[in-house]
A and B are shown apart, each in its own frame.
Chain A
Amino acid sequence: MSQDKQPLKQALKNHYFNWSLTDEQVQQLQLKLDANAESEINTNETKEQPIFSRSKYLWLSSMAASLMIFFILFGKPQSPELVTYAYSDIKKDAIFHNGLDKTISEWLGVKNIPPFPKGFNIEMSKFCQLKQHPATHIRVAGITQGTAHFFFHQTNSDLTPKMSRGFENDMNWRVIKLHEDLSVLVIYSQDMREQAIQHILDGMLPEINV
């Protein structure tokens, strides 16, 4: 702690000058500024297409039932810190509705992540910080109901396979490792069907067994 006392004005200046954007944050903002002024807003028509196969549905139902039994038997595990940070980000970003931002779209392209399947409306997309690590937050509305949040982030070694899914604050969450240094944390409301999430993941990450 510094005991150096200064006149209020100077002390306030020093206090605020301690706050600066990180290089990564500046880079993200510059990317945005350099991009086309118009943010893209996803206005995809919600044309229905066959999404769910009955066998997959049955498989998932039995999986969900197994998970429920697991939770009943062993109690609810505590969510990892990363998930807690993501929940607070969801709350913070609730006011934003910017659709699919051009820089995010480009970022997905750079990371070889295919676009979200048609019919799902991207409500919001932005770069954010989870546990002070850069992440990309995309909020997607279900075709008929529910909301899902996708947080693409650097693969976190704190998340062991046992901690790859959970339930908190009336929402389910899952963590899927895309490759060595990129994972996605999916958080979705209870009224968002599990199959819809699976469909998005299948569409976006075809080469990954999720």
Chain B
Amino acid sequence: MFNKDELDKFYRYAISLSKNGDLAYDLLQSAIERYLRKAGDSIGNPNAYLRMVIRNLFIDHQRRNKIVPMISIENNEILDSELHLIEPIDDRFMDDILMDQQEIELLTKSLAPDESELLYLWAVEEYSTSEIAVITKQPKGTVLSKLHRLKIRIRQQVSETTLSINET
């Protein structure tokens, strides 16, 4: 049904949300249980279904534990008329930002789950912004806006880190 590579992929997606290996495994396990219960109802796209269940379970988990909401507080609304002002998000987007693994670790920890999920879907799964918009149930403009804001923030974060290293 799902091979190891696919299971790993779901596990990593769950990690992008939860940033915790144990919780990610629990989410995956429960998502599979739900999938098996639903399997009789002819699920059109099992991968998409499983990813959606992981996402919903994570949101439930946050609500239950009264953790800050999954959505970052920044206003990411963007008007369709402003879309052309945003640079295209292609393979080279954010290529000018160079990071080592330790910096990446700090970065992923500092992001809100929705931001972390967005970066994961874009960078690791290599989904287009339109696909991410469908997966995360947001307008495409919001996805574009979020990615651009993230780029600015990450660049700022990197330059601050570099500055503090140089100062020391």
A: which residues have CB within 8 A of B? 1-9, 11-17, 19-21, 25-26, 28-29, 32-33, 35, 37-39, 89, 91-96, 98, 101, 126-129
CB-CB under 8 A from B1, the residues of chain A are: 33
Q: Are B101 and A15 in contact (CB under 8 A)?
A: yes
Q: Among B23, B65, B93, B100, point to the contact of A1 (Cβ < 8 A).
A: B100
In the complex, whether B105 has a CB less than 8 A from a CB of chain A is: yes
Q: Given the complex, which residues of B lie within 8 Å of A28, measured CB to CB? A: 29
Question: A4-B101, A38-B40 are known contacts; what are 16 more A-B pairs with Cβ within 8 Å?
Answer: A1-B100, A3-B100, A7-B95, A9-B94, A9-B122, A14-B104, A15-B101, A17-B12, A19-B11, A21-B8, A29-B29, A33-B1, A92-B61, A126-B29, A126-B30, A129-B25
Which of B12, B93, B95 is the one whose CB lies under 8 Å from A19? Answer: B12
> Which stretch (B14-22, B72-80, B135-143) binds chain A?
B14-22
* Also in contact, A12 and B36, with CB within 8 A (given A5-B100, A92-B23, A126-B29): no
Does B86 sit within 8 A of A, measured CB to CB?
no
**Footprint of A on B, CB under 8 Å?**
1-2, 4, 7-8, 11-12, 15-16, 21-26, 28-30, 32-33, 36-37, 39-40, 57, 60-61, 64-65, 91, 93-105, 108, 119-120, 122-124, 154
9 contacts between A and B (CB under 8 A): A6-B98, A7-B98, A8-B94, A8-B123, A17-B124, A19-B12, A19-B15, A21-B25, A32-B29
Please give, as numbers and ranges, the residues of chain B lying within 8 Å of A98 by CB-CB distance.
30, 33
* Given contact pairs A7-B97, A26-B4, A95 touches B33 in the complex (Cβ within 8 A): no
Q: Are A16 and B30 in contact (CB under 8 A)?
A: no
A9 to B147, CA, bound (A): 12
Q: How far is the CB of A16 from chain B (nearest CB, A)?
A: 5
A121, chain B: closest CB distance, angstroms: 18
Could you tell me if B64 and A95 are in contact, using CB atoms closer than 8 angstroms? Answer: yes
**A1-B100, A8-B98, A21-B25 known; A29 and B32 CB under 8 Å?**
yes
CB distance from B68 to the nearest CB of A (A): 17
Instruction: Identify A11's interface contact among B12, B30, B39, B104, CB under 8 A.
Output: B104
Among all A-B residue pairs, the 6 with the closest Cβ atoms: A5-B98, A12-B123, A8-B97, A7-B95, A8-B94, A37-B39
A37 with B40: in contact, given A9-B95, A14-B101 (CB under 8 Å)? yes
User: Does B99 lie within 8 Å of A6, measured CB to CB?
Assistant: yes
For B101, the chain A residues whose CB sits under 8 A away are: 1-2, 4, 11, 14-15
Q: Which residues does chain A contribute within 8 Å of B36, judged by CB atoms?
A: 32-33, 35, 37-39
Decide if A19 touches B21 in the complex (CB within 8 Å). yes
Question: Across the interface, do B25 and A11 meet the contact criterion of CB distance under 8 Å?
Answer: no
CA distance A65 to B123 in the complex (A): 60
Q: Which B-chain residue is minimally distant from A32 (CB atoms)? A: B32
Q: Are A38 and B37 in contact (CB under 8 A)?
A: yes
Q: Would A15 and B33 count as touching, CB distance under 8 A?
A: no
Which of A8, A11, A15, A127 has the most chain B CB atoms inside 10 A of its CB?
Answer: A8
Say yes or no: B26 contacts A6, CB within 8 Å: no
Report the minimal beta-carbon distance from B10 to chain A, rounded to whole angstroms: 9
Residues of B near A3 (CB, < 8 A) are 100
Q: Is the CB of B105 within 8 A of A15?
A: yes
Of all chain A residues, which has the CB nearest B39? A37
Bound together, the chains give a CA A146 to CA B89 distance in angstroms of 54
Which residues on the B side are within 8 Å of A129 (C-beta)? Answer: 22, 25
